Amino acid sequence: MNGSTDYLAIAVCVAVISLTLWVTFAAARRSRSADGFFAAGRSITSWQNGFAISGEFISAGSFLGTTGLIFYKGVDGTVILFTSVISFLPVLFLLAEKMRNVGKYTIADVLVFRTGARRVRVAVALSTVATCTFVLLAQLVAAGTLLESVAGIPFWVSVLVAGSLMAVYVFVGGMLATTWVQVIKSSILAVLAIIIGLGVLAKFGFSLPILLDAAAAHAPAGAAILTPGQIFGHTGPVNLISYALTFALGTAGMAHILIRFFTVPEASTARRSLGWTVALCSMFYLIVILMGFGAAAVLGGHAADRVGASGNLAAPALVTELGGGVGTIGGSLALALVSAVAFASIIAVVAGVVISAAGTFARDVWPTLSRSRHASGVGAEGSRLVDDQTQALVARYGAVAFSILAIGLTMLIGDDTNITYFMGMAFMVAASAHLPALVLSLNWRGFTASGAMWGILVGLVSTVVSLAFTPALWLGEGPAPLTIQLPVVITLPLSLVACVVASIMSERRGPRTLLDDEKFAEMIVRAETGLGAEAATVH
């Protein structure tokens, strides 16, 4: 790319980032309290929360990674998009309102409501950090690849810039700032996506059959791009089912998604916010499908060097061609706009993930490390109280530490892996480690702290171990022992069995008491009615 393109892209990126930074510092005054930092004062409306949740999904994984996946693999690459929309149904029917009523700031607050067990908080913290790490790796790889390609900035510098910005968002503005950054990003990206979608259709006379014929004629995979089997054809239906289940169920266990239900004033708002989310995500994912096939049709197989081996640059290359081509004013402007919005999208997502990890560390790990207890008495062990203000301070510095760790890991990994696979790993951890424990905790009277701890740990460990034997991460000689890319069909049942068996065994060692039954009854009443739930803060 020429120098003017580089400077234009950088200028637009700086303008968008400056807007989000202004929002962050404006939100700082309202984020000084713990409630403001962790839950945005529970003041977020349904449409704002819906746009913010959409922002967590409309990320580099879908905008860049999935476009590239469809460019190379065709129909199989769309599986993640359809299952992602379906994934909101378990959240809606099983968790959204109950989470808002029972929890406070983290998903561990829900799991320890009945038992107050500190070991459960530690187990949840481990799985949450693992999930957040996979998401951050995906987003930071995308940020580094994007700026390196568009602006000529070295990969490591791009990752450092993105990581530093996400730390600033969380440290200064907390949940309120990250929410508004997501709202702004989702709004801009939705408008831009509509324009790109119309541009792709206009190039082929607004005829979808003509677009697909052109994609089949020019795609790297040829006509096979329109038939299933490019990703899952060699491993049978089990791989497809497991891959789809990972994204369909993983959402219901993603910590940075679930904590957004703590930011709304009441449970009904949490439910309505999912309506906004489904509408926005459905529209965007349909356009991503158009972009993937459009990239194959417009760029063709000869452009594989422009989109990269991972396909992460298919979207920027496509919009450059739609704008007039490389070196033209229109092409340069289109590339600059898309790159800036994509970069802002990445930063917004990683900020949301970091605040989830930081909150988990401050509320679920720090009190244990300091042998202290929450001011509320939940999970009480130790002698010294840690109030919410101290936890907010610990979370701010924890966000900085976690950002540094993510930057270092991303630089070690490099930019050769399609970021959609990293996102799949995150969803797999969430589905296996969190979902069974959350659903059983909210619905089964016999569920115990031991069941929660062992279910989470078995889900986490089995996920990490099984992934090491899949084609994406296998380091041994010869083919990978597991042909299933995301073996959630193995790990989720293991976690569920561990939850049930450990709960039954712990009850045999010590029968359930009247206090246990009363606590379960209290949780059910609170989850279903909202009586006793955390109230919104009036600013």
Kindly list the domain boundaries of the chain, sorted by start residue: 3-37+47-422
CB atoms within 10 A of CB 61: 28
Q: What does the alpha-carbon distance between residue 441 and residue 424 come to, in Å, rounded to a whole number?
A: 25
pLDDT of residue 383: 36
Classify domain 3-37+47-422 at the CATH topology level: Sodium/glucose cotransporter (1.20.1730)
pLDDT of residue 228: 82
pLDDT of residue 381: 41
pLDDT of residue 522: 84
418 phi and psi angles, rounded to 5 deg: -65, 125
Q: What does the alpha-carbon distance between residue 320 and residue 159 come to, in Å, rounded to a whole number?
A: 23
pLDDT of residue 499: 94
The per-type count for the chain, helices as H runs and strands as E runs, is 26, 2
The 3-class secondary structure across 60-90, one letter per residue, is: HHHHHHHHHHHHHHHHHHHHHHHHHHHCHHH
| Residues 515-532: tens digit of each pLDDT | 567 788 888 888 888 777
- Token reading at 173: 């503005």
Structure letter (DSSP) for residue 59? S
Establish how many alpha carbons lie within 13 A of residue 536's alpha carbon, considering only the half-sphere containing its beta carbon: 13
Helix (H/G/I), strand (E/B), else coil: 163:
helix
Q: What does the alpha-carbon distance between residue 282 and residue 408 come to, in Å, rounded to a whole number?
A: 34
Helix (H/G/I), strand (E/B), else coil: 446:
coil
Dihedral sign from CA coordinates of 485, 489, 491, 492: positive
Residue keyed to tokens 């396909």:
311
pLDDT of residue 455: 94
pLDDT of residue 60: 61
Helix (H/G/I), strand (E/B), else coil: 205:
coil
Residues in the chain: 539
Characterize the bridge pairing of strands 384-386 and 372-374: parallel
Helix (H/G/I), strand (E/B), else coil: 198:
helix
Q: What does the alpha-carbon distance between residue 480 and residue 330 come to, in Å, rounded to a whole number?
A: 46
Structure letter (DSSP) for residue 172? I
Which residue ranges in the chain fall short of pLDDT 70? 1-6, 9, 60-61, 151, 234-235, 301, 310, 370-388, 415-420, 508-516, 533, 535-539
DSSP string, 114-156: TT--HHHHHHHHHHHHHHHHHHHHHHHHHHHHHHHHHH---HH
- Token reading at 165: 């910005």
DSSP string, 321-340: HHHT-TTSHHHHHHHHHHHH
Residue keyed to tokens 């229109």:
330
